[in-house]
Amino acid sequence: MTASDELLMRLSNLDALPGQETQVQNALQEIIKGVKNKDSFGNLYFGNLKTEKKKIALYAHMDEVGFFVHRITEDGFVYFYPIGGWWGHVILGQQVRATCRKNGAILEGIVGTLPKTNHKMAEVVPISEMYIDFGAHSKTELEEAGLQIGDMILPNTQSKKSFNQKKIMGKALDNRVACTVMAQVKNRVDTNNIEVIGVGTVQEEAGTRGSKVAAVEAQADINIVIDVANGKDTPKAAEFPNRIQGQGPGLVLADKTALANIKLLDYCKEIAEKNQISWQYDLLAGGGTDAGSVQLFAGKPTLVFCVPVRYCHSWNSIVEISDVEDTIDLLVAVIRSLDEGGIELEQF
């Protein structure tokens, strides 16, 4: 197992609802070497923000889609509120864990599978009608255990490797994959003329909130946002397969919130081909990333690196290990080339 494998699996097992990212914040501060800062919103910065050198910022959001406790019934059932995009049909019958912010207790439960009798089998039960059964006898019992309104609830899963050791399965690969990439790049690359700022953003899944603050703090000359999106190489996922696992990171031409700086994209493409690193073109037609907020702060060159991940926003996702490593290798190669004067940053 490589260092990247171990780190990704460790981060996958942590819980970080938007606005409650403490577990991942603490882990990254422990893992990433060098100068680190945290702003009042919760974003993390790894590198010298006050440097007079040109800055390249690598953005990775630390939060994940999840739920929080919305209502506890007198007989001990818990209704919950979703944060981020969820499909109702992946939730029923799943195991969850709630983290009690009052005392740190972890309560395990199951999303109830008994909807109203008037629901047809072909219909998806609305999330607002779902509840969690923690095995409690009453509201009082749950409250005495530490549970309260607003506590985060997340999939109760543990990351693992596939039988062939080629892939990692686990929750929150959106966006612990990017956190892993950012951390590894920061720890592997040494620069002389450029300052690399690793940025861990908060609340991306709740409307790219953290990056609106982080872009102002980082004030980078080049912004690279690292994220993931659903691989389209599974049966009937798309009219033609794209965002294919095993073919490296996608260089994203556009998403719903941002257009790539095409010169920067072409430069990264050339570096990939020069170093024989796998890559692919990508287009995120269905959603946005932190790039939209970052790009609009000062209009600096911005590009999204997208790692293919199957089954995002569900209990278990799958990523190809080689895609993670290729993303790390390509970013390291791009940064080294820019640091050595491969091209002036002003030319993008």
Element (H, E) at 269: helix 262-274
Instruction: Read off the amino acid at residue 51.
Output: T
To 10 degrees, what angle do helices 321-339 and 3-12 make? 110
Please tell me whether 313 is known to bind a ligand: yes
Q: Alpha-carbon distance 167 to 198, whole Å?
A: 25
Residues present in the chain in total: 348
Instruction: Read off the amino acid at residue 187.
Output: N
Please tell me whether 190 is known to bind a ligand: no
Nearest to 348 by CA among 254, 222, 263: 263
User: Is there a catalytic annotation at residue 204?
Assistant: yes
Taken in order 45, 51, 52, 58, is the CA torsion positive or negative?
Answer: negative
Please tell me whether 144 is known to bind a ligand: no
Q: Which one of the listed residues 21, 64, 195, 204 is annotated catalytic?
A: 204
| Sequence-distant (≥ 6) Cβ neighbours of residue 285 within 8 angstroms | 255, 256
Please tell me whether 205 is known to bind a ligand: yes
Q: Alpha-carbon distance 138 to 80, whole Å?
A: 17
CB atoms within 10 A of CB 198: 26
Please tell me whether 282 is known to bind a ligand: no
* Residues of each annotated binding site: 61, 174, 205, 227, 313
Annotated binding site for Zn(2+): 61, 174, 205, 227, 313
* Residue numbers annotated as active site: 204
